[in-house]
């Protein structure tokens, strides 16, 4: 091993983890220029000099039914990765989200003396509390994105650091609605709605038709309404366009964008959004929203069998500790329900103003310079001798 080189293994399992990990790599390298990073990652991480042994697309599968179809390949990747990491242990291992993949790997590494960090607390606040014991057995330290999470770990004696949410650092505090509307060519008073049916093909499979039919009902009530639909990939755009034809909705004023989800949400009066990180993005952009989600029937059945104890799943509601925006899951996510909820928010300016003030306060609470705080926590997990050696080599 080269003198002064710190070896950090990372595993990111989807696009959001790729972003988190790339920012973490940049922040660590700012303090430890000779650090090297390797494991499983995506294009953003590769852009920071990451050595990807496997691409993260192999792990970016959502839903129980969908995971089962690729279970053997995912299991083989984890076995291979485990062998390589045990044969040549890193100075620290960082699992970035993807708890179903990372926690088992972290547990094995921790037992063999490798310091393990789990970046992004799993949703212990949404599911039965016994999951926290699995996390404690796997992670030497947990990096939490939300301010209510550290107390949960501290009660169990699990080392934890609150780092804030990187999206809160990236997104502007000011409301950019008017400027974004002008950029997209919408009128100042025109009703505009953003539709975000998901970033994965599996999500479009279950959500696209429902969102289009919801837009049709909204348009019937507001004939001058416009709809903007950001889609992450060519594949998801093709799926949405196929759904538009299937629903005979070519006459609906749906403007499809390649990416630009933040601009789409900023321009909107109300956002109709699939449950997930996009709900937090909508909140940080101060946009009122209606949350919906559908998945494979088997996945939904299994989730109900496992059972959560919170009555809500959308991140704005979780952060508020109460229902502040409506949620419709599975069979309740009908076009009639979604359209009516969106229209209710649109006509009630007082509720929309209250939500915008609440979301501004959330933004301030989450804006903590997450990448730098996470880097400090990871570097603090390195053995003292390695930290001192690396610092001396960097000077």
Write the DSSP string, 200-262. Answer: SHHHHHHHHHHHHHHHHHHHHH-TT-EEEEEESSHHHHHHHHHHHHHTT-TTS-EEEEES-HH
What residue spans in the chain does CATH classification 3.40.50.2000 cover?
A: 7-164+368-394, 177-366
Task: Quickly state the pLDDT bin for 64 (edges 50, 70, 90).
Answer: very low
Give the C-alpha separation, 146 to 316, whole Å: 11
pTM of the model: 0.83
pLDDT of residue 183: 92
Q: What pLDDT is attached to residue 63?
A: 46
Q: Which helix (H) or strand (E) holds 193?
A: strand 192-196
Query: Residue 108 phi/psi, 5° resolution?
Result: -65, -45
State the pLDDT at residue 253.
95
DSSP state of 303: H
* 129 has pLDDT over 70: no
Instruction: Determine which helix (DSSP H) or strand (DSSP E) holds 48, and give its type and residue range.
Output: none
Q: How far apart are CA 284 and CA 262, in angstroms?
A: 10
Q: Residue 101: count other Cβ atoms within 10 Å of its Cβ.
A: 23
Q: Specify the CATH number for 7-164+368-394; select among 3.20.190.10, 3.40.50.2000, 3.40.50.980, 3.30.1330.10.
A: 3.40.50.2000
Residue 321 DSSP class: T
Q: Is a pLDDT exceeding 90 seen at residue 173?
A: yes
Residue owning tokens 């989800």: 261
Sheet holding 7-12, edge to edge: 51-55, 36-41, 7-12, 92-96, 116-119, 141-144, 160-162
H helix or E strand, kind and range, residue 96:
strand 92-96
Asked if residues 292 and 328 have their Cβ atoms less than 8 Å apart, the reply is yes
Q: CA-to-CA distance for 282 and 116, rounded, in angstroms? A: 32
What would you report as the CA-atom Rg of the chain, rounded to the nearest whole angstrom?
22
Looking at the domain 177-366, which fold is it? Rossmann fold (3.40.50)
pLDDT value at position 275? Answer: 82
pLDDT 10s digits, 65-120:
445 556 677 788 889 999 999 999 999 999 998 888 899 999 999 999 999 999 99
Is 82:2 a contact under the CB 8 Å cutoff? no
């Amino acid at each position: 091993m080269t003198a002064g080189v710190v070896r950090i293994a990372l595993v990111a399992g989807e696009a959001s983890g790729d972003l988190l990990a790339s920012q973490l790599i940049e922040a660590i390298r700012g303090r430890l220029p000779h650090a090297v990073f390797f494991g499983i990652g995506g294009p953003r991480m590769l852009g920071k000099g990451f050595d990807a042994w496997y691409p993260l697309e192999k792990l970016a599968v959502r839903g129980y039914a969908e995971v089962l179809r690729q279970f053997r390949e995912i299991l083989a990747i984890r076995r291979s990765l485990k062998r390589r990491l045990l044969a040549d242990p890193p100075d620290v291992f960082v699992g970035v989200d993807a708890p179903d993949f990372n926690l088992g790997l972290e547990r094995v590494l921790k037992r063999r003396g490798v310091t393990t960090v789990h970046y992004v607390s799993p949703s212990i606040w949404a599911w039965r509390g016994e999951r926290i014991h699995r996390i404690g057995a796997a992670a030497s330290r947990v990096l939490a994105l939300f301010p209510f999470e550290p107390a949960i770990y501290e009660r169990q004696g699990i080392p934890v650091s609150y780092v804030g949410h990187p999206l809160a650092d990236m997104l502007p505090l000011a409301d950019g609605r008017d400027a974004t509307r002008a950029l997209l060519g919408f009128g100042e008073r025109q009703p505009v709605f953003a539709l975000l049916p998901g970033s994965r093909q599996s999500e479009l499979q279950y959500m696209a038709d429902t969102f289009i039919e919801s837009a049709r009902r909204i348009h019937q009530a507001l004939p001058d309404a416009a709809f903007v639909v950001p889609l992450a990939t060519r594949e998801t755009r093709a799926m949405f366009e196929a759904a538009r034809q299937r629903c005979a909705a070519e006459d609906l004023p749906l403007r499809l964008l390649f990416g630009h989800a933040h601009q789409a949400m900023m321009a909107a009066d109300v956002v109709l959004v699939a449950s997930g990180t996009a709900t937090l993005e909508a909140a940080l952009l101060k946009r009122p929203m209606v949350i919906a989600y559908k998945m494979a029937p088997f996945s939904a059945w299994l989730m109900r069998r496992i059972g959560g104890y919170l009555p809500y799943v959308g991140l704005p509601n979780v952060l508020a500790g109460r229902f502040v925006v409506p949620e419709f899951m599975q069979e309740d996510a009908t076009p009639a329900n979604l359209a009516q909820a969106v229209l209710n928010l649109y006509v009630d300016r007082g509720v929309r103003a209250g939500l915008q003030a609440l979301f501004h306060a959330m933004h301030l609470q989450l804006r903590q310079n997450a990448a730098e705080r996470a880097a400090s926590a990871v570097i603090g997990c390195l053995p003292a001798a390695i930290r001192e050696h690396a610092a001396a080599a960097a000077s």
